[in-house]
Amino acid sequence: MRRFDQKFGPELLESVPAEPGVYRFLDASGAVLYVGKARNLRRRLSQYRLAGPGKRGRKPRKIVKAASAVTWEVHASDLEASLAEVRLIQALKPPLNIAGAFDFLYPMVGIGRVRDAVRFAYTTRPEELTGFELHGAYRSRDTTAEAFYALMRLLRRVGHPENLPAAKARMKRTRVHGLRRLPDGWDAAWAAYFRGEDASVLGVLAVMLLEKPSARKEAAEVEDDLKSLRRFFKEEARPLADAVRATGYAAWPVPQCDRDPLFVRHRASG
């Protein structure tokens, strides 16, 4: 007998509706191990029952092995089920859910000006920042952090670092860098970049770097940093801007907890 049938009963699937919904696998104490959603609950749960020995079946087998019970709830549409799944994962943070469970770590980028310096901040705790225009929230910490620090390295080649107090430059989940002698209007130009609206400032920066002997000498490193910035715009900033525009979302920045539901609605509208 299959492990799924041994644990949950061979007749379980007959009672599961063939409708959109959210399902939860529970451990022996009743705590939620995993939350998922389905267009068709019966079909989706049958995939757990029939999970094969290969790589594709690894996670379903792991979930079934750890679980002691499975429950479900029906929703009126696939969109409603998807939104319910996101909210449950955010609230419960089940140990076998990874994607979406840690929205509080989705990064934002802040831009501000203090006298002649433009300040840039990378943060997963936006409440730590005051005096900054915030952008995001973005999903990938790796892609966003890589682009942020690439930008700081490149801007130091064309501007002059500001000496910031240690308490300002390094907070618990925030890093702040200040640059002086940047071109006029660059705070607005980089804000448009991080909003996913306009990446033309990358071309301006590239031309400026060509005029710097040290940048020409280290051309490979400079090009790697520019690639990181182009990738961030393509994979994080522009998709977020498209989702905001397509759904008519009114707030900016998008709060960390709203980022995943926003993309659920965007995919449904497409």
Residue of 164 and 176 predicted with greater confidence: 176
C-alpha distances (whole Å) from 225 to each of 88, 195, 219 are 37, 19, 10
Number of structural domains (the chain) is: 2
User: Exposed e or buried b for every residue in 86-99, given b needs 16+ CB within 10 A?
Assistant: bbbbbebebebbee
Domain coverage including residue 211? 103-242+254-269
State how far the Cα of 101 lies from the Cα of 167, in Å rounded to an integer.
30
Average pLDDT, the chain: 94
Provide the 10 A C-beta neighbour count for residue 216: 11
The answer to whether the peptide bond before residue 17 is cis (omega within 30 degrees of 0) is: no
The residue from 43, 58, 92 where one domain ends is 92
Residue of 28 and 173 predicted with greater confidence: 28
The residue from 48, 69, 92 where one domain ends is 92
The residue from 92, 126, 150 where one domain ends is 92
Judge if 43 and 113 occupy the same domain. Answer: no
State how far the Cα of 75 lies from the Cα of 36, in Å rounded to an integer.
13
pLDDT of residue 145: 97
Mean pLDDT of the region 146-174:
86
Residues above pLDDT 90, as percent of the chain: 87
What is the DSSP track for 54-85? SSTTHHHHHHHHH-SEEEEEE-SSHHHHHHHH
